[in-house]
Amino acid sequence: MSLHLPPYRPLPPPGPKADLLSVPIADLRPTQMCVGLAEVRSRQQDFSLETAEQRLRYLRGKPVPLVRGAGNALWMVDRHHRLRGLIELDPDAMAYGYLVLDRPAEPPQVVLTELQARGWLYLYDGRGHGPLAPAALPQGLLALQDDPYRSLVWRLKKEGMIDPAPLIPFHEFRWGAWLRSRPLPPFSSANLVPALAAARSLVRSRAASHLAGWKG
């Protein structure tokens, strides 16, 4: 599988004086088809150990980049894993976000077309099939599919095998697509162990040096 994503614009980070919006997580629309459930479960475990005050403080420090369209529709361009984990624990949970694009007069199809042109949509499903049409995006986080390769990349990043690149849209999926094109033993998000040794070797190889975050 090779990704045919358009050239991307880096996501603007929140400024030191950014106006943060408090938004119900259930109202946010995803800009991707899938998540790595291994990371979702890890995020859930972290949230379950926090008080409500600690959780809000953490979320305020990790605001969600948002795109607003007509009717106050809000798309999230990042943070899908942590918010998917949280909404499973608390369906009424709130998060903080900041606007990276404001199109209050534009209907969904126009907004999604602009997001696609910016490289801010990931239109591949959990098995790597795509790109699908933007209209196929789920309307909420709970409908996102599992992509075990995304889980595998999360584990490799956690181990320090890949450097973060937080302003590159879908950075981990780009690594996942590359790994999907290499031979790996069967594995799942619930059991990454069979693929880990081979994946560690692959992401350190010269063949991966063109990918952002490569460490060698």
Question: Could you read off the pLDDT of 139-175 as tens digits, one per residue?
Answer: 999 999 999 999 999 999 999 999 998 878 899 999 9
Q: What is the mean pLDDT of residues 194-203?
A: 98
User: How does pLDDT run across 74-86, given as a tens digit for each residue?
Assistant: 999 999 999 999 9
Confidence grade of residue 138 (pLDDT, cut at 50, 70, 90)? very high
Better-predicted residue by pLDDT, 16 or 183: 183
pLDDT (0 to 100) of residue 18: 77
Q: What is the 3-state secondary structure (H, E, C) of the chain?
A: CCCCCCCCCCCCCCCCCCCCEEEEHHHEECCECEECHHHHHHHHHHHHCCCHHHHHHHHHHCCEEEEECHHHCEEECCCHHHHHHHHHHCCCCEEEEEEEEECCCCCHHHHHHHHHHHCCCECCCCCCCCCCCHHHCCCCHHHCEECHHHHHHHHHHHCCCECCCCCCCCHHHHHHHHHHCCCCCCCECCECHHHHHHHHHHHHCHHHCCCCCECC
Q: What is the pLDDT of residue 3?
A: 62
Cβ contact 178:62 at 8 Å: no
Answer whether residue 1 shows pLDDT above 60.
no
